[in-house]
Amino acid sequence: MNKITTLISAALVTGLSFNLATAQELKLCSTSEMMAKYFEEHPSLKAQYLAEQQQEEQLDIAAFANGYKEGDGKSMLPIYTIPVVFHILHLGGTENISDAQIHDQVRILNEDYRKLNSDISAVVSSFTSIASDCEIQIRLAQKDPSGNCTNGIDRIYSAETNIGDDDSKLNQWPRNKYLNVWVVKAISSGAAGYAYKPGATVFTPAIDGIVILSTYIGSIGTGSPSRSRALTHEIGHYLNLDHTWGGTNNPGVDCTGSDAVSDTPTTEGHTACLLTDAVCNPPVIENVQNFMEYAYCSNMFTNGQRTRMRSALTSSTASRNNLWSAANLTSTGISTPAVLCLCDFQSNDALNTVCQGDNLTFTDLAWNGTPTSWNWTFPGGTPSSSTDSVPVITYNTPGVYNVSLVVANGSGSVNATKTSYITVYPNDATYANAFYSEGFEGSAIPNIDWNVRNANAGSNTWTQTTAAAATGTKSVRIVNASTYDTHVDELISPPIDMTAIVGTPVLTYKIAHAQKTATSADKLQIYVSSSCAQSWSLRQSITGAALSTAGIIGSGSFTPTASQWVTRTLSLASLASDTSLFIMFKFTSNAGNNIYLDDINIMGNVGVDELTNNLNFNVYPNPSEDNTLISFKLIENARTDIAIYDVVGKEVATVFSGNLNTGEHQYLIADKTKLSAGVYFIRLNVGGENFTKKLIVK
């Protein structure tokens, strides 16, 4: 066979955008703007491209198609298989679509390109004879460019998901081996997707591939049946098809354009499903149902379009002819038997949390091969092991637990363990003391008390640090100076019995934070939950300059000085009767610097009351070693109790209990007890009113 090169139209970039409200509100892709910008930035490439165009052979489409027919008209065409990789650009939001949604899209593509789509029966009679099985199929890659196991889905945590242009084409896999599809949250041009045609990428391979919105992938999840054909359309462009009206993105203008396909009738293009439309050459009906139309009822390619796409796949232009080669299908793992190469699994709860006594359902997500046996291990679960393919496990004991799985079939076995994967929250409060305090001086978080939820595992999140502390030597922080905008991290407390708090409860915490610029808008929000951390209510929100305690620190990674810590308060009076309250500190990044938290306390009669009382209540020196003095002044005779508590609310010592007269009073702690190093609370009760001070003993 002689080399058959690709026909290239003047339109280099093509795209598709749907608006589900009405066809009249359709937004077209920004071909002209993108190409103007492209050639402005690369003026020498325009001449090269035009020269490449002139060298392309002009093909007799009908003759090429007939060369692959037997006498009875039966197709003799080989099936061309294209390995594809989906790069999911996300920031942990809904744009991070599921594997199932990707698989659904691949199913739709293969149905459309093999004429197996259920709505093929709706093709109008004028076109049933040329509605084509293109004999092109799409397969998710099974090996990455390094030969490692892959499921053909590459997840990339990047703010580029909000931009969606050529610079968003991150981690491109070799274009001569894979069709690269980048799935994003937004496209800067306003389109739903766009693709470069083969001839436009000869000199700039880094831009080759397709960019498409996450909501236009598949018919499930964030996708929908009405949007699921957008990628069918874009792959048509990737394989050198124009819109049926020609190489522009402006349908409905006139009948002068051409898509260089002999069996698609001349058309001005449609943005509505007018199946009997015959505007350009009446009474010839136009192919409104074509996948390369904008008419919302796409369900077919023609024989001529099949030939044009297959011509592109036999051309060396942009290396399309290597995609389906036997060597490449072996290299990308498509032609080899399905072999188990990676073990993965998930629970039916997106956050992998459960309340004590409830259950979770687990599903394996093994890559490539199909498992025939499963061996699960569930520490803390009932049952603690299972050989079911979809086990249901009950968790009766609060805690944080691992999950392990071994899957096997005739090709071998693979295994995986996810540490601290399941968090089981207690139904009853973990703490039921006169007050609650957390200084993060103990074990690293997450731990048995404090849970961390991070939108992107492995990225910066709440962690224990010794870099700075309001008191003691440790605090928790987010290294926000190097975190993506819109990143969300949540720090969740253990459940606290508020009825045990003596007095009207108030939450206090110490915070240190810096902006990078005056427009930095990092946000800290405090939520509470009375429903086993299953639903949350917002109680406080602080953003931007109001959050910053250190002003603007534009460079470097912020570490606070002692004066840059600020105490903030939040009344919990309305929650005083809650017997199991969770508190969540939710931080949303937006171009700021680091944030630190320390000394989280829930106490009665603290905050403003403590600051404005007339007792002159002091504990000093603080921090101290063994010479701490408690002092206060009574303005009238009163019943007075002084006690020392440790960080879990256990009373360590009684300093005084009885009636005291008006005047100054002082008590040396060393006269009553010897305190070891640690954090303590001194509670002074005068006439039934409580006042509390923290004490650090070195």
pLDDT at 29: 47
In this predicted structure, the answer to whether residue 174 has a pLDDT above a threshold of 80 is yes
In this predicted structure, the answer to whether residue 296 has a pLDDT above a threshold of 90 is no
pLDDT at 52: 55
Of the candidates 396, 347, 328, the residue with the CA atom closest to the CA atom of residue 83: 328
In this predicted structure, the answer to whether residue 608 has a pLDDT above a threshold of 50 is no
pLDDT at 610: 43
463-477: average pLDDT: 93
Of the candidates 569, 432, 434, the residue with the CA atom closest to the CA atom of residue 503: 434
| Backbone region of residue 573 per phi and psi (left: phi > 0; alpha: psi in -120 to 50; beta: other values) | alpha
Average pLDDT, the chain: 86
Instruction: List, for residues 498-556, the tens digit of each pLDDT value.
Output: 998 888 899 999 999 999 999 999 999 999 999 888 889 999 999 999 999 999 999 89
pLDDT at 483: 77
pLDDT: which is higher, 173 or 436: 173
pLDDT: which is higher, 174 or 614: 174
In this prediction the pTM is: 0.75
548-572: average pLDDT: 94
DSSP, collapsed to helix, strand or coil, labels residue 667 as: strand
pLDDT at 73: 45
Instruction: List, for residues 366-412, the tens digit of each pLDDT value.
Output: 999 899 999 999 999 999 999 999 999 999 998 889 999 999 998 89
Catalytic annotation present for 25: no
Asked if 695 and 684 touch (Cβ cutoff 8 Å), the reply is no
Instruction: Report the alpha-carbon distance of residue 37 to residue 34 in Å, rounded.
Output: 5
489-505: average pLDDT: 91
Instruction: Report the alpha-carbon distance of residue 692 to residue 683 in Å, rounded.
Output: 5
Asked if 184 and 303 touch (Cβ cutoff 8 Å), the reply is no
Q: Which one of 135, 160, 234, 286 is the catalytic residue?
A: 234
Instruction: Report the alpha-carbon distance of residue 652 to residue 668 in Å, rounded.
Output: 15
pLDDT band at 71 (very low <50, low <70, confident <90, very high): very low
481-506: average pLDDT: 88
pLDDT band at 456 (very low <50, low <70, confident <90, very high): low
In this predicted structure, the answer to whether residue 64 has a pLDDT above a threshold of 60 is no
271-291: average pLDDT: 95
First-to-last alpha carbon distance for the chain, in angstroms, is 86
Instruction: List, for residues 17-51, the tens digit of each pLDDT value.
Output: 443 333 334 445 444 356 556 667 767 777 765 56
pLDDT: which is higher, 72 or 627: 627
Task: Walk me through the domains of the chain, giving residue ranges and CATH numbers.
Answer: 13-70+78-248+301-331 (3.40.390.10), 341-425 (2.60.40.10), 436-604 (2.60.120.200), 613-697 (2.60.40.2360)
pLDDT: which is higher, 442 or 629: 629
Other beta carbons within 10 angstroms of residue 183's beta carbon come to: 31
pLDDT at 34: 61
Q: Give the least confident one: 60-74, 107-121, 221-235, 572-586.
A: 60-74
Asked if 654 and 672 touch (Cβ cutoff 8 Å), the reply is yes
In this predicted structure, the answer to whether residue 72 has a pLDDT above a threshold of 50 is no
pLDDT at 505: 92
pLDDT band at 289 (very low <50, low <70, confident <90, very high): very high
- Percent pLDDT > 70 in the chain is 87
Instruction: Report the alpha-carbon distance of residue 21 to residue 12 in Å, rounded.
Output: 29
In this predicted structure, the answer to whether residue 57 has a pLDDT above a threshold of 50 is no
Partners of residue 210 on adjacent β-strands? 181, 195
